[in-house]
Amino acid sequence: MVDAPTAGSPGSDLSETDPPEADRTDRTDVAVVGCGPGGAVLSYLLARSGVDVTLVEREGTFERVYRGFGWNPGVVRLFDEMDVLEDVLDLAHETVAEGAFSLYGERVSVLEFDLLDTDYPYALMMEQPALLERLVDRAGAFDGFSFHPATTVTGLVTDDDGAVRGVTARDRAADETVAVEARCVVGADGRYSTVREEAGIDPGLFESPIDLVWFTLPAGAVDAGTQGQIAREGVLVHFGLGGGDLQVGYLLRDGEWPAIRAAGFDAFRGRVAAVDPDIAAAVDDNLNGFADTTLLDVSPGIADTWTRDGLLILGDAAHVASPIGAQGNPLAVEDAVVAHDRIVRALAYSEGVVPRSRLRAFEARRRPTVERVIALQRRSAANLAFWLDHGRRVPPSLVRVAAALFGRGAARSRIARRAIESFALGDRSVTVARSHFVE
Ligand SMILES: Cc1cc2nc3c(=O)[nH]c(=O)nc-3n(C[C@H](O)[C@H](O)[C@H](O)COP(=O)(O)OP(=O)(O)OC[C@H]3O[C@@H](n4cnc5c(N)ncnc54)[C@H](O)[C@@H]3O)c2cc1C
């Protein structure tokens, strides 16, 4: 952390806090760090509400390493409330109207989305770059918005009381150091958040019994009628991304990856093909080595606190979901929608640095939902790990009977439905505070 030269309490004049040695100082109401789904949605909503927002992003383009690509019906509803759904549907995407997987070759339907109590009975599968670019474009229509790509936040500017008054960053395009002074800094900079670390907030990571290796194959390489396969030989998940690509994940036990790599890439290809022999040719043709794969270290976590004076963290920076149920994006978008309302109110009802007392309501509102989702994911991860360890010993005939029973009715049982619906619809009480919009 960089201490501001002139100390001040929340509410004092921000212009007194120029941090030393910055080539350039920008001033804004809200500095959002990180242009992922959380940061991009929040920036757009704040800009549209007449708030001055500076969005700072480390990457020079919208391309990102593998990121979540699932947008559940709950997010589709929120996109509509934000007036961006039409824009989003213009981009390359696929829609999914039924959740289904294959269990030892038997198709099991988990959820038909049109049975859900929603006007949006479908999930979207799409990659993040085009979506993020569109959100930034939409935010750019408002005067108070500025976007700084290729700019890495390196530290927080704080006063003697620990209140956050801005960030320091390195603008690689301009080759200069920047200080961004703000009444509120939002850390939306992902699971390895610099903002969280600089604020000394513990990420609260949990152990995970499973990891996932991702790779991309051409559409058509896998039966598109399901999103996953559980076989004696292992577990695969797969989703079409709309642009002709198929994202495939191979599930493994936590810590198993070094041994898999040591056994060589041919052996890995063999493992994948053993789960689904139909995929073998596509794997041979399209994957040439481990460089064509990405390990997602599934370590969920919930940070100790999400707010300080002048600071709020959200999305993966505040809590890391596992990929089970594709909840990372929905949680980040819901966070942004709730944070938008709280921050606009906090700016209106305070002066200078926004005090924590005005931001705490964000955390009080979101923490129970996040804890519930992550607890559910952790139970599912334990079940999958058990399957990886012991699935082979279960006679296939027994599995087929179980699959048939599950398919016939268990998925529609109240308890199972409630869990599945909460993954699909998210927190239905979260709605966009459109009353803040200036146009
Ligand atoms: C490597 C990785 C792989 C993932 N794979 C999957 C997956 O396969 N399936 C799935 O469902 N979910 C996956 N997720 C999770 C999902 O993508 C996230 O839950 C979702 O993107 C959260 O959005 P967010 O806005 O909170 O953070 P992110 O999308 O992580 O966005 C954070 C942004 O902050 C930027 N940033 C980071 N540090 C700085 C800094 N110091 N200064 C400025 N900018 C900074 C980053 O470049 C990024 O653009 C993955 C996440 C990661 C990090």
**In Å, how far are 90, 132, 271 from 85, measured between CA atoms?**
9, 13, 40
User: What is the model's pLDDT at position 247?
Assistant: 87
Q: Whose CA is nearest to atom 11 of ligand 1?
A: 68
CA 239 to chain centre: 16
pLDDT at 200 over 70: yes
pLDDT interval class at 327 (50, 70, 90): very high
Per-residue pLDDT, averaged over 243-259, amounts to 89
Give the tens place of pLDDT for each residue, 20-41. Answer: 579 999 999 999 999 999 999 9
Of 97-111, 209-223, 391-405, which gets the smallest average pLDDT?
391-405
Q: Which of 1, 67, 306 best tests ligand 1's pocket when mutated (most atoms within 8 Å of CB)?
A: 67
Query: How far is it, in rounded angstroms, from Cα 264 to Cα 269?
Result: 9
Per-residue pLDDT, averaged over 426-436, amounts to 96
Ligand 1 atom at minimal distance to the Cα of residue 154: 41
User: What is the model's pLDDT at position 408?
Assistant: 58
Question: Which residue do the tokens 């919208």 mark?
Answer: 62
The set of protein residues with a Cβ atom below 6 angstroms from ligand 1 is 33-39, 56-59, 64-68, 70, 152-153, 188-191, 194, 214, 296, 315-317, 321, 323, 326, 328-329, 332
11: Cβ contacts below 8 Å, ≥ 6 apart: 350, 351, 352, 353, 355
User: What is the model's pLDDT at position 398?
Assistant: 77
Question: According to the CATH classification, is domain 2-69+127-205+300-376 in 3.50.50.60?
Answer: yes
Helix axes 328-348, 37-48, angle to 10 degrees: 30
Q: Which of 189, 193, 208, 340 best tests ligand 1's pocket when mutated (most atoms within 8 Å of CB)?
A: 189
> What distance in angstroms lies between residue 66's CA and the mean position of ligand 1's atoms?
9
> What distance in angstroms lies between residue 36's CA and the mean position of ligand 1's atoms?
6
Sheet with strand 94-96: strands edge to edge: 70-71, 123-125, 94-96
Per-residue pLDDT, averaged over 386-397, amounts to 82
Sign of CA dihedral 404, 410, 411, 412: positive
For the chain, the distance separating the N- and C-terminal CA atoms, rounded to the nearest angstrom, is 38
Per-residue pLDDT, averaged over 405-415, amounts to 61
117 and 418 in contact (C-beta within 8 Å)?
Answer: no
Query: How far is it, in rounded angstroms, from Cα 211 to Cα 231?
Result: 17
194: Cβ contacts below 8 Å, ≥ 6 apart: 33, 152, 153, 154, 155, 187
Q: Which of 153, 177, 316, 329 best tests ligand 1's pocket when mutated (most atoms within 8 Å of CB)?
A: 316
Ligand 1 atom at minimal distance to the Cα of residue 212: 8
Per-residue pLDDT, averaged over 344-360, amounts to 96
> What distance in angstroms lies between residue 374's CA and the mean position of ligand 1's atoms?
17
> What distance in angstroms lies between residue 178's CA and the mean position of ligand 1's atoms?
23
Query: How far is it, in rounded angstroms, from Cα 164 to Cα 176?
Result: 22
Structure tokens belonging to residue 75: 């997010």
Per-residue pLDDT, averaged over 214-229, amounts to 84
User: What is the model's pLDDT at position 405?
Assistant: 67
Give the tens place of pLDDT for each residue, 93-116. Answer: 989 888 888 888 888 888 888 888
Ligand 1 atom at minimal distance to the Cα of residue 320: 19
User: What is the model's pLDDT at position 428?
Assistant: 93
Identify the three-state secondary structure at position 157: strand
Give the tens place of pLDDT for each residue, 306-326. Answer: 999 999 999 999 999 988 888
Cβ neighbours of 312 (radius 10 Å):
31
Query: How far is it, in rounded angstroms, from Cα 292 to Cα 286?
Result: 9
